[in-house]
Amino acid sequence: MSQHVTVPAGGQKITVNADFSLNVPDQPIIPYIEGDGTGLDITPVMLKVVDAAVAKSYGGKRRIHWMEIFAGEKATKVYGADVWLPDETLDIVKDYIISIKGPLTTPVGGGIRSLNVTLRQQLDLYVCLRPVRYFKGVPSPVKSPEKVDMVIFRENSEDIYAGIEYEAGSDQARKLIAFLKDEMGATKIRFPGTSAIGVKPVSIEGTERLVRKALQYAIDNDRPSVTLVHKGNIMKFTEGGFRDWGYALAQKEFGAQLIDGGPWVKFKNPKTGRDITVKDVIADAFLQQIILRPAEYSVIATLNLNGDYISDALAAQVGGIGIAPGANMSDTVAMFEATHGTAPKYAGKDYVNPGSEILSAEMMLRHMGWTEAADLIIASMERAILSKKVTYDFARLMDGATQVSCSGFGDVMIEHM
């Protein structure tokens, strides 16, 4: 049945119930994509660390049966030139419910569209979930990195990020510009003859489903606030819509009430009785406030492109994108992946920090309900960092550190389990 994928014998599929809860067998099959560039270095380390944590936590009762699937450059070698994202890969990610991937390269300017974005769009993985927390001992450029404890809910299916754009001078760009000028009365295209044109779709449905998840997360995790981050003063109907629809949803579905006439609202957490405040900040101001007053922010709900920028900026405050995990999720399917990319200059050198992908796997284990193994990964990451045996990104900023390789850091983590 499979074209190029070997289904491991002895494992079983994870399934999902009508209420979206998971049935996770003790021997689940989990598909993984190695990834391009440094994916070659970090993915094997992630697999080894996760296997060690699971073995240590469950003494053989539970085991992950990893199944390699293909995307990016490796897919072109396995499936043939120009097959960057095989249909089989999409089918398996959907069918097996939970998967994990390394980073995939996207060329700048021309060339293929992002495979990462295509995966999210094709599988409608509409939430990009990126928690940002501090690990003791990690070098940081800010004075109080421990005050950064935020969880980003980035809308993952819409916005300018959807890739609807037309090259300068193309027939499509010319047609669209003529339509905008002649039929829509647009007078503000400064250089109509040489403009490329991008389209930014932002919908009520897309916003509501994302904000709903962020509010529910705040309830489930007893968080004090959800902040809607947008540039709605300038892009009134798209980013401004996101803000207005977000507030409206909090009122309509969560019973939130205006604070001092609004626009901020608040509601009682039905599980704890504590207030959850829903507020908003304009994106540029937000980027300075997360440096000056990070403790004021907890759960963040934002649009796709803002979420991309905010993820890397916040990661920098707690030590960089070497330890920035993430997940792309729909109501049923979840695909875990690091926040960073393929860092091509370091590819194949066994050099970079595998922490982001390992912590993405930690999120995956927690999502599966394998909390003992997830906790063990966090504990061993903490101990490894405190031992000061770290990869280059931390070693270059830490006093008295011993620099270890990518695989070496995985081994240090395993020693500390």
Ligand X SMILES: O=C(O)CCC(=O)C(=O)O
Annotated binding site for NADP(+): 105, 340-346, 353, 392, 396
- Which of Mg ion, ligand NDP, ligand X, none interacts with 289 (beta carbon under 5 to 8 A by kind)? none
Tokens of residue 52, six digits: 């060690």
Are the beta carbons of 347 and 41 closer than 8 angstroms? yes
Among 24, 92, 98, 117, binds ligand X (CB under 6 A): 117
- Dihedral angle, C-alpha 188, 191, 196, 200, nearest 10 °: -10
In sequence order, which residues have a C-beta less than 8 Å from that of residue 51 and are 6 or more positions away?
A: 63, 64
Tokens of residue 290, six digits: 């997360």
Query: For ligand NDP, which stretch binds (CB under 6 A), given 75-83, 104-112, 191-199, 206-214?
Result: 104-112
- Residue ranges at the known binding site: 105, 114, 116, 120, 130, 154, 308, 340-346, 353, 392, 396
Tokens of residue 234, six digits: 């300038």
In sequence order, which residues have a C-beta less than 8 Å from that of residue 285 and are 6 or more positions away?
A: none
Of 264 and 309, nearer to ligand NDP (C-beta) is 309
CB of 344 to ligand NDP, least distance (A): 6
Residue type at position 29: I
Regarding 407 and contact with ligand X (CB under 6 A), the answer is no
| Residue burial 7-21, b: 16+ Cβ < 10 Å; e: rest | eeeebeebebeeeee
Site string for ligand X, 285-324 (x = CB under 6 A): -----------------------x--x-------------
**Polymer length of the chain:** 417
- For 376: left if phi > 0, alpha if psi spans -120 to 50, otherwise beta; the answer is alpha
Site string for Mg ion, 61-80 (x = CB under 5 A): --------------------
* Residue 9, helix vs strand vs coil: coil
CB of 400 to Mg ion, least distance (A): 32
Regarding 116 and contact with ligand NDP (CB under 6 A), the answer is yes
Site string for ligand NDP, 41-70 (x = CB under 6 A): -x----------------------------
- Residues with catalytic roles: 161, 231, 284, 308
- Residue ranges at the known binding site for Mg(2+): 308
Q: Of the candidates 31, 26, 19, 37, which has an alpha carbon nearest to the alpha carbon of residue 341?
A: 37
CB of 75 to ligand X, least distance (A): 15
Q: Of the candidates 35, 65, 60, which has an alpha carbon nearest to the alpha carbon of residue 373?
A: 60
Are the beta carbons of 366 and 327 closer than 8 angstroms? no
Residues that bind ligand X (CB under 6 A): 106, 114, 116-117, 308, 311, 339, 341
Residues that bind ligand NDP (CB under 6 A): 38, 42, 103-106, 116, 320-322, 337, 340-344, 352-353, 356, 393
Residues that bind Mg ion (CB under 5 A): 308
